[in-house]
Structure 1
Amino acid sequence: MLVLRSSPTSPFGRKVKIAAALLGLTDRIEIVMADTNDPVDSLRQQNPLGKIPALILENGEAIYDSRVILEYLDYLAGGKKIIPLGEARFIALREQALADGIMDAALLQVYEGRFRATEKHEPKWLDHQNAKVERGLAYAEATLSTPAPQIHVGHITLACALGYLDLRQAGKWRETHPKLVAWLADFEARVPAFEHTKVKS
């Protein structure tokens, strides 16, 4: 049995859960909560960076981060399921990188509020991260908002990024990105795991 160390609110962990569902691997993965702030959590031995998600293999070795885990799951499922071959592979990976960057920037804004007292928040830092999110969304709205015949890692990650913005920023992105709103509705209809992995705010 594979073990996924994650938390319910992690958009990167959600990526793995959705990919596993699409690949028919959910029954092979046990999900075990991880506390990245707990110095005695075994996560820090499984991933020296202390980050989630981490996938523990049956031989005890760990694979991280989410991008590598999705590669591994696609391999387990026979390959070419969520990561295409040829030039299409690099397009999918580029889209994944963009959406990962949106999630990273949104997460850093959350961390600023979580780890610094309000009076110590750095507006320039928050604006810098928010600008990354806005540029990423603008690009996705313009170029990635047409539903694709086959879902790949880029689509999974973009859906998780939008879901994370719904969770942490009350879905404000929806007011100015109507094409992405429609795109996400299509994704959710096609991928039941998106709803099943949703955390209510």
Structure 2
Amino acid sequence: MILRSAAPSPFGRKVTIAASILGLSDRVTLVVADTNNANDDLRRQNPLGKVPTLVLDDGRTLFDSRVILEYLDHLAGGGRIIPREPEARFAALRLHALCDGILDASLLQVYEARYRPEAIRHGPWLEYQAGKVSRALAELEAEPQALDPTPHVGQIALACALGYQDLRFGGTWRAGHPGLVAWLDRFAAQVPAFEQTRVVP
């Protein structure tokens, strides 16, 4: 299988970490994608032109990261990173959705600064996105997070969301969230792929 992604993508990082946790890394080859290049095959492989996109052995493609993670869990026998038991399953999926929301809001802030000239950046829009991140991190800090022996999709997404805050926002989240800092340290110690996929700012 071919994973079309880019090293800074937190969504692609989720896939790479999940593949490692599931013992599937040797079945996935990363091919860097350039989302800004109209000639990149990515736009043929995924009409949305987004990463990550997983190209299967038969040429079919899967996207987005949530779908890819479910497929990898299926390949690994199921119930490994997406729990089967309903209560645990929906808790994991809820955490996954919350952390993807953190990433979405964070990316919108990054793109506003990257693609819009400073004179026309919309302050209230940036504050709105930053508020989503702040509220989500506050909720996560208030509820001590577990770390399963095999981390589930929500825990993988949380690690990538916090890692993206380090990459793009200078780790400013750390000062007010000691519980999450400690949790991320535990995740990094337990999952070597987290450090292996870290991008230096």
Q: Which amino acid aligns with 1:151?
A: P
Relative distance call for 1:91 and 1:11 in structure 2 (3 A) is: same
Aligned residues: 200
Between 1:122-131 and 1:139-148, the stretch displaced more is 139-148
Q: Secondary structure at the residue paired with 2:35?
A: coil
Equivalent residue number for residue 167 of structure 1: 167
TM-score by length of 1: 0.97
Query: What does 1:93-172 correspond to in 2, within 5 Å?
Result: 93-172=93-172
Between 1:9-18 and 1:82-91, the stretch displaced more is 82-91
Task: Please list every run of 5 or more consecutive structure 2 residues that lacks an aligned counterpart in the other structure.
Answer: none
CA distance in 1, matches of 2:144, 2:64: 24
Percent of residue pairs bearing the same amino acid type? 59
CA distance in 1, matches of 2:71, 2:59: 15
Equivalent residue number for residue 78 of structure 2: 79
CA distance in 2, matches of 1:149, 1:190: 8
The runs of at least 4 aligned residues of structure 1 exceeding 4 Å deviation read none
Between 1:44-53 and 1:64-73, the stretch displaced more is 44-53
Q: Is the 8 A contact 2:102 2:132 kept in 1?
A: yes
Query: What does 1:184-195 correspond to in 2, within 5 Å?
Result: 184-195=184-195
CA distance in 2, matches of 1:34, 1:149: 32
Q: Secondary structure at the residue paired with 1:198?
A: coil
Between 1:144-153 and 1:8-17, the stretch displaced more is 144-153
Report the RMSD for the aligned CA atoms in angstroms: 0.9
TM-score by length of 2: 0.97
Equivalent residue number for residue 30 of structure 2: 31
Between 1:144-153 and 1:129-138, the stretch displaced more is 144-153
Equivalent residue number for residue 47 of structure 1: 46
